[in-house]
Structure 1
Amino acid sequence: MAPPVRKLVLTTHITSSVGWLGAVLAFLALAVIGLTSQDDQTVRAVYLVMEPAAWYALIPLAVASLLTGLVQSVGTTWGLFRHYWVIFKLLINLGAIVVLLMYTETLGYLAGLAAAPDTDLGLLRNPSVLIHTVLALMLLLAATVLAVYKPRGRTRYALRTRPTASRTAAPQR
């Protein structure tokens, strides 16, 4: 990948990943407000805003992070299957997206409850959103640590495809 393209992809990847992390932090604040607020309208508003926030912020940022990460790994020397930390980041990202997509059904259910004026707020004050958000935050922070520290460890694939001295040595004249 040409350096300008590589930098563009890297910038897009970092931006989408930071945006995803920021959206999760916003969800964390909403989850805490939803659990602790004594104001009925505030509690209802929290759960009404979570579903569209998931569809229009969390999911697009997560998918952008995944796609740009794939392009970045395939288009650079890091490779997709050469280093364990890249594979772990990919698995974290895929796992988080799958759980997020499955959890949107719960968010839709909670939004429906919040929209009904006769809903008991005890049903809305469910710690599930807080638990899922904290777990998502932990996963994203783990992926960030992997990206920054890039722990050593090459996969068997990388060891098999590593250039040998005979292939990389300059030709004899």
Structure 2
Amino acid sequence: MRVMPPAVRKAALVIHIISSVGWLGAIAGFLTLAVAGLTAGDPQLARAMYLGMNMIGWMIIFPLSLASLVTGIVQALGTVWGLFRHYWVLIKLVITALATLLLLVHLQPVTAMADMALSTDLGPLDMNAMRVQLVFDAAAAMLALLVTTVLSVYKPRGLTRHGQRLSNKQHTLPRSSKSAST
């Protein structure tokens, strides 16, 4: 495994943190708009909320989710943590990848809602099930991103089977091989 030089590692970490925190913040804004759209009694206000959600989703949230996923993979591959070595890294990868895929699925009804808001006045009870679903989906995304944040900070112990094999292999290498591989 090749470890990135410290300057590159730190730059990649900064980009990863910025994209991940930005993604979390954008989801918080999206959730706020979803709640406002659900509770809006004024059709013009509802229209503005759903148009804003569509723009934030495609122009901010989706690019940040991709940036977070890619920079997370770069961080894992270029550091001692590895991509499949520790459970917490693997769980973060799975959550981030699933969240990004689900985001693509979730953005379809957001776009449909924005198109509907443009073509008709939305009354307080129109499309209520979809409005509730948008709030629920945004809250679930917030929870998933908070879990990845907690995992990043606490880094729970535990090696995967792959990580255990690598660890055992490193411990059984002759002393001269260990120093040559670092």
Range class of TM-score, shorter chain: over 0.9
For 1:17, give the aligned amino acid. S
Alignment check: 8 A CA contact 1:83 1:158 kept: yes
Root-mean-square deviation over aligned CA pairs: 1.6
| Secondary structure in structure 2 of the residue aligned to 1:112 | helix
Identity fraction in percent: 44
For 1:167, give the aligned amino acid. P
Q: Which one is further off, 67-76 or 114-123?
A: 114-123
Poorly superposed stretches of 4+, deviation over 6 Å: none
Distance in structure 1 (CA, Å) of the matches to 2:48 and 2:121: 15
Matched, 1:29 2:36: no
For 1:146, give the aligned amino acid. L
Distance in structure 2 (CA, Å) of the matches to 1:166 and 1:140: 39
TM-aligned CA deviation for residue 165 of structure 1? 5.0
TM-aligned CA deviation for residue 112 of structure 1? 1.1
Alignment of 1:43-122 (within 5 A): 43-122=46-125
Distance in structure 1 (CA, Å) of the matches to 2:93 and 2:173: 33
The TM-score, its normalising length taken from structure 2, stands at 0.89
Alignment check: 8 A CA contact 1:113 1:124 kept: no
**Residue 129 (structure 1) aligns with:** 134
| Secondary structure in structure 2 of the residue aligned to 1:152 | coil
TM-aligned CA deviation for residue 166 of structure 1? 4.7
The TM-score, its normalising length taken from structure 1, stands at 0.93
Distance in structure 1 (CA, Å) of the matches to 2:163 and 2:150: 22
Alignment check: 8 A CA contact 2:47 2:122 kept: no
User: What is the aligned length?
Assistant: 171
Distance in structure 2 (CA, Å) of the matches to 1:141 and 1:156: 26
Instruction: Report Cα offsets for 1:126-163 as digits up to 9, x if no partner.
Output: 20110000000000000000000000000111111111
Alignment check: 8 A CA contact 1:63 1:97 kept: yes
Distance in structure 2 (CA, Å) of the matches to 1:32 and 1:98: 23
**Residue 167 (structure 1) aligns with:** 174
| CA distance 1:112–1:151, shift in 2 (3 Å) | same
TM-aligned CA deviation for residue 117 of structure 1? 2.8
**Residue 138 (structure 1) aligns with:** 143
